[in-house]
């Protein structure tokens, strides 16, 4: 299995809703990432988990809450989002010992209404 | 800060050759990556350079000059399906920036018949 699986593929949520994005990989990668990408912009790093511990938080607002329950799973909990948070949310993973780039998931297209 | 620069747009004809340039100024260097991204989809890995020189992979080649902070992606025998955004990304030294990639803004390539 050489894939990173993200669910759901599309999500529409209201500003008062609570939802979660899910990311799963079974490649034994020990580093996992959340990126946010707006249209025609490059991906922007949000969070990095290394060995299931939060390693980097790029000053992301608290309405985004990451969670890494185990080495294969990464969640992003969403609460009280704003319309400007609408974007493509990408999960990625990489081997920790030698960094040869990411394997990206197919992304979740989030629309906040 | 980290600066990755690449042209915003390029156009080319089917069957032609196109070269997409990328220049970078980063604090530390641990490899340069090229990703292809079709609209609304996740980036897919194309190439990785860590040493100076040319890496060839089928119709795609990537070149790196670390002393000049310069890379290019060469696409040969262009096909319509090559129309996409091409992202240049740099990995800096490990440590506090574990596995982090700094992305350029992407070059939107349009291939005409």
- Between the alpha carbon of residue B72 and those of residues A54, B56, B94, the distances in Å are 34, 12, 24
Mutate which of A21, A44, A101, A103 to test chain B, going by most B C-beta atoms within 10 A?
Answer: A101
**Confidence (pLDDT) at B108:** 96
**Confidence (pLDDT) at B94:** 60
Backbone dihedral region for residue B67 (phi beyond 0: left; psi -120 to 50: alpha; all else: beta): alpha
**Confidence (pLDDT) at A100:** 72
Q: What is the pLDDT averaged over residues B15-27?
A: 96
- pLDDT-based confidence at residue B101 (cuts at 50, 70, 90): confident
A45/A97: higher pLDDT: A45
Selection from A43-47, A51-55, B76-80 with the highest mean pLDDT: B76-80
Task: Return the percentage of chain A with pLDDT > 90, whole number.
Answer: 76
* pLDDT single digits (tens) A6-50: 999 999 999 999 999 999 999 999 999 999 999 888 899 999 998
B30 closest CB neighbour out of A45, A88, A99? A99
**Confidence (pLDDT) at A34:** 96
Residue B58 pLDDT greater than 80, yes or no? yes
Residue A97 pLDDT greater than 70, yes or no? no
Cα–Cα–Cα angle for A84, B83, B64, rounded to 5 degrees: 90
Report yes or no: B42 at the A interface, CB cutoff 8 Å: yes
User: Could you please report the per-residue DSSP string of chain B?
Assistant: --EEE--SEEEEETT--EEEEEEEE-SS-S-EEEEEE-TTS--EEEEEE-SSEEEEETTEEEEEETTTTEEEEEE-S--GGG-EEEEEEEE--SSTTTT-EEE---EEEEEE-
Residue B95 pLDDT greater than 60, yes or no? no
- Between the alpha carbon of residue B101 and those of residues A33, B68, B93, B112, the distances in Å are 11, 19, 10, 31
The A-side interface with B (CB below 8 A) comprises 31, 33, 40-43, 45, 48, 50, 55-56, 88, 90, 94, 96, 99-107, 109
Q: What is the pLDDT averaged over residues A51-61?
A: 92
Tokens 């596995």 belong to B99
- pLDDT-based confidence at residue B53 (cuts at 50, 70, 90): very high
| Chain B, nearest residue to A109 by Cα | B40
The closest alpha carbon to B86, from B53, B56, B110, B52, belongs to B110
Mutate which of A7, A56, A89, A99 to test chain B, going by most B C-beta atoms within 10 A?
Answer: A99
Residue B98 pLDDT greater than 70, yes or no? no
Cα–Cα–Cα angle for B64, A47, A109, rounded to 5 degrees: 90
DSSP-derived letter for residue A80 is: S
Query: A43–B99: do the CB atoms touch at under 8 Å?
Result: no
Query: B94–A99: do the CB atoms touch at under 8 Å?
Result: yes
Tokens 């002393």 belong to B67
Residue A96 pLDDT greater than 80, yes or no? no
Query: B45–A109: do the CB atoms touch at under 8 Å?
Result: no
Query: What number of C-beta contacts closer than 8 Å exist between A and B?
Result: 62
């Amino acid at each position: 299995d050489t894939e990173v699986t993200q669910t759901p593929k599309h999500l529409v949520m209201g500003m008062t809703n609570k939802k979660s994005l899910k990311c799963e990989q079974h490649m034994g990668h020990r580093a996992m990432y959340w990126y946010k990408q707006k249209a025609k912009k490059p991906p922007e790093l949000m969070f990095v988990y290394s060995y299931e511990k939060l390693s980097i938080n790029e000053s992301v607002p608290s309405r985004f809450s990451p969670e890494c329950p185990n080495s294969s799973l990464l969640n992003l909990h969403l609460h009280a989002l704003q319309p400007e948070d609408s974007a493509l949310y990408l999960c990625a993973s990489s081997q920790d010992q030698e960094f040869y780039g990411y394997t990206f998931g197919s992304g979740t297209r989030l629309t906040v209404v | 800060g980290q600066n990755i620069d690449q042209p915003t747009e390029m156009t080319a004809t089917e069957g032609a050759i196109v070269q997409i340039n990328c220049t970078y100024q980063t604090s530390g260097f641990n490899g340069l990556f090229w990703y292809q991204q079709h609209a609304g989809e996740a980036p897919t890995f194309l190439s990785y350079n860590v040493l100076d020189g040319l890496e060839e992979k089928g119709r795609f080649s990537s070149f790196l000059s670390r002393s000049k902070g310069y890379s290019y992606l060469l696409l040969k025998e262009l096909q319509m399906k090559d129309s996409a955004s091409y992202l240049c990304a740099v990995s800096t030294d490990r440590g506090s920036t574990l596995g982090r990639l700094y992305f350029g803004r992407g070059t939107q390539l349009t291939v005409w018949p």
